Structure formats: C-alpha cells, structure tokens
A and B are shown apart, each in its own frame.
Chain A
Amino acid sequence: MSEVKVAEKKSALFGKNEKKLLIDPLNDNNPITVQVLGICSALAVTTLMNKALVMSIAVIFVLAASNVLTSLLRNSIPKQVRMIVQLVIIATLVTVVELALKALDYNTFKELSVFIGLIITNCIIMGRLEAFAMANSPWRAFLDGIGNGLGYGIILLLVAFIRELFGKGTVFGFGIIGPDAGYLINTSESWLFGWYANNNLMVLFPSAMFVIGVLIWIHRGIVNKSLVDVS
C-alpha cells in the first residue's frame, strides 16, 4: 500500500506536466519575447554579461522563492490584501538579495545600483504569483519559478552577449575581438578583421530595444511560427 503511494508520488514529482512547467517558458511562453514581462531590467543591465548573469541569478532566486512562499500561504492570504502581501514577500526577498550581493560582490552591487530594487517591479514575478502560485502546490510553483526565471535569464544573457561582444569586443570582460594585445582576434594585425571597430551604439540604451526586437523577429519568424501576431 505504502509502496504504491511512493511510486505515485514520484511520478507526480517530476512528470510530464512538471517538465512542461520548466521547458515551456524557454520557448513557447518565454517571459520576455512572448509574454512581454520584465523588460525594464532586461534593457538596463545587458551592457555587460556579468551584470546580466548576476541579475538573472537574482531574478531566478526571487521568482522561485516568492512562488513557493506564496503557494504555501495561498490559502491563508486574505483576498482583500492579496496584492500587498505578494509585494511584501517580493520586496523582502529582493532586500535579502541586495544585502547578500552587497556582502558578496560589492563592485557588481555598485554597478547594478537601483536596478536590484527594480526586481520588485519586474512584472514576471508579480505575474507568476497571480497567475500560477496562487493556484498551485509549492513544488509546481517552484518549478514554474525556475522555468520562467531561466527563460528570462537566457534572453538576458543572449542580449548581453550581443551587446558586449559588438559594443566592447569582450565576453564576460575577456577580450575577444579588438586592437589590444591579448585578444582572441587582434584586429590591428589580422588582415581579415582590420576594418573592425567597436560599435558604440551597442553600448547605448536603444540598442537593447533593437536587439530584442530582432530576437523576437527571429523567434517568431523562424523558430516558432505559431507565435506570429495576427491581430
């Protein structure tokens, strides 16, 4: 009797539906390119890859943890103050992240400045709490949080990769292409890349818009044609 129960629980722990929770946000239901949530931070922190990475980790943590907490409390949260309670949970977790980052990596903390605080208003988090965590079990909410966080992080890193490589010639601060010695492709010596100069536009804010716009185009036009906007 008890064995059967365990087997049942196991399949429920990571079955088809659970896998879907993790995979779906990566493509069909990507928070940035499909749901259009959490754009603000995606634009501001994508000039450098390590900023984008820290931001992604922070968002994945806050999203998963707040999903779980909200899901645990979902039956005891009074409906009338639902929003405020959710915001308090998020704000607390974000403060925890801020305090931890300040202790662990002060330089990145300084660089991200107000954008750490803006995780609170990252609509992905609020959106997932409302749409998913309030109606699902903690484990499923956890997976949903991780999945959406990853979907967000992938786009963030992709945008940051393009912007940092073309804007500064580096990836994670390591020189890849450019005139300085020690770079992978030394443009001043290579006959093939002698024309190359860092594209300053990529470092500026509007370029993030163009990069995401083109990513959406590729995503909808080539990778996943079912997403084309027909309205």
Chain B
Amino acid sequence: MGDLINIFIKSAFIENLALAYFLGMCSYLAVSKSVKTAFGLGLAVIFVLGITMPINWVINSYLLSDTGIFGTDLTFLRFILFIAVIASMVQLVEMVIEKSSPALYNSLGIFLPLITVNCAILGGSLFMVAKEYNFAESVAFGLGGGFGWFLAIIGIAAIREKIRYSAVPPGLRGLGMAFILTGLMGMAFMSLMGIDPAAF
C-alpha cells in the first residue's frame, strides 16, 4: 500500500505529466482561459486516465506480451490498441457528461473529443509500459498523473484569469505569456524533485 501512495504522490507532484513532461499541452493551453472550464477538463482527464491505464495494462500484459495468451510478441500493435481504447473511453465520457451535465458539456465544447489526442493520456499509458508497473501500480499512476494534470491546469487557469488585468506587452499577450507562465510553474515544480516520496 505504501508503494501505491508513493507512486500516486510521485506521479501527481514530482513527475507531473503537465509540468515535468509537458504532456497534454494543446488542451492545457487552449482550455485554461477560465478556471471553470479548466476544472471540468481536469476532472475528465483524471477520469479517462484512471480508466484507460488499467485497461491498457491488461491489454499490454495479456494480449501483447510474449507471455500473454497469444504467446508471441505483438508489441507492434501497442500504439493502435492503446489509442483505440482511449478513443472509445473518451466517447463514453462524452456521452456521460452530455447526459448528466449539459452545461459542462456546452462549455467544454470541442475539447472533449480532444482528450483523445491529449498526449497526457497516451503518454501515461506508454510511460506505464516503460516503467513496467503492475496492475495496482498502474491504477495509482493513472489517478496520480490525472490529479497532477488537474492541479496544473487549474493553476495556470487561475493565473491567466488574473493576468488579464496586467499590462503585458502586446506580442506576449495570451499565448506567449501562457508559455512563460507554464515554464515558471515547471521550475517551481522542479523544486519538488528533492522530495523523497518514500517518506510518505
């Protein structure tokens, strides 16, 4: 159990998918103009990461690896299967949100389908394979990674809401400033690297 908490903390704060690996930047920059929409997208990312990670783990270890049910190395199909799982899960989330909260659905607009091409989701699954996590660890990694991404997008959205009232040079307004702010947030998160997650 300690290990799982360790992985959760590590993936949420220290190896933050958005601020340490800069994954999922497209939607991160596009949807971070207001905290409200950022909140919705962040939740959706946690949800999708939390679901797809274990599913992809099962696919990877039981279908694709040479010790799986087919007995041969099918890792060249990994990308296709992973992305198919992600795309169908996103479709599912989209339908659920549309039914349960039309307001949120409207404000997220076109960005929901974009979760499919949010690199944080596929990146999470690929990192999980690279790090050779087991099933429980991959769940912890998925939830932690999603939570970290959620924190990052809420953070940048809050800053961007405030900075709208500041005198930013014209060329930097909007996007340029968002990049520099993300860089600064990334540096701030780098200071968490010294934390020993085993201490939790």
Complex partner residue of A216 from B79, B126, B176, B182, CB under 8 angstroms = B176
Q: Does A72 contact B (CB under 8 A)?
A: no
Residues of A within 8 A of B37 (CB): none
Report if A160 contacts B (CB, 8 A).
no
Residues of A within 8 A of B176 (CB): 213-214, 216-217, 220
Chain A contacts to B: CB under 8 angstroms:
33, 36-41, 43-44, 83-84, 87-88, 90-92, 94-95, 98-99, 113-114, 117-118, 120-123, 126, 204-210, 212-214, 216-222, 225, 228-231
A88/B26 contact (C-beta < 8 A), A40-B123, A229-B173 known: no
B171 neighbours in A (Cβ, 8 Å) = 216-222, 225, 228
Q: How far is the CB of B169 from chain A (nearest CB, A)?
A: 7
B contact set with A: CB distance below 8 Å: 20-26, 29-30, 76-80, 83-84, 87-88, 91, 113-114, 116-119, 121-123, 126-127, 130, 169-180, 182-184, 186-187, 190
Residues of B within 8 A of A113 (CB): 130
In the complex, the 6 A-B pairs of residues with the closest C-beta atoms, listed nearest first: A221-B171, A209-B183, A229-B174, A213-B179, A39-B25, A206-B186
Chain B residues whose C-beta falls within 8 Å of the C-beta of A230 in the assembled complex: 173
A177 to B185, CA, bound (A): 30
- Tell me the bound Cα distance from A214 to B122 in angstroms: 29
Which of A40, A114, A214 touches B22 (beta carbons < 8 Å)?
A40
Whether A94 lies near B179 (C-beta < 8 A) is: no
- Min CB distance B168 to A, Å, is 9
**Chain A: minimal CB distance from B194 (Å):** 15
**B174: nearest residue on chain A (CB-CB)?**
A229
Contacts of B20 in A (CB 8 A): 205
Q: Across the interface, do A95 and B118 meet the contact criterion of CB distance under 8 Å?
A: no
Of B88, B122, B179, B186, which is within 8 A of A117 by CB?
A: B122
Give which listed residue, B30, B117, B180, B186, contacts A205 with CB less than 8 A. B186
Cα A44 to Cα B123 with chains together (Å): 12
Closest CB-CB distance, B24 to chain A, in whole Å? 7
Contacts of B83 in A (CB 8 A): 87-88, 90-91, 120-121
Q: Give the residue of B23, B123, B177 whose beta carbon is less than 8 angstroms from that of A213.
A: B177
User: A39 — which chain B residues lie within 8 A by C-beta?
Assistant: 22, 25-26, 29
In the bound complex, residues from chain A placing their C-beta under 8 Å from that of B187 are: 204, 206
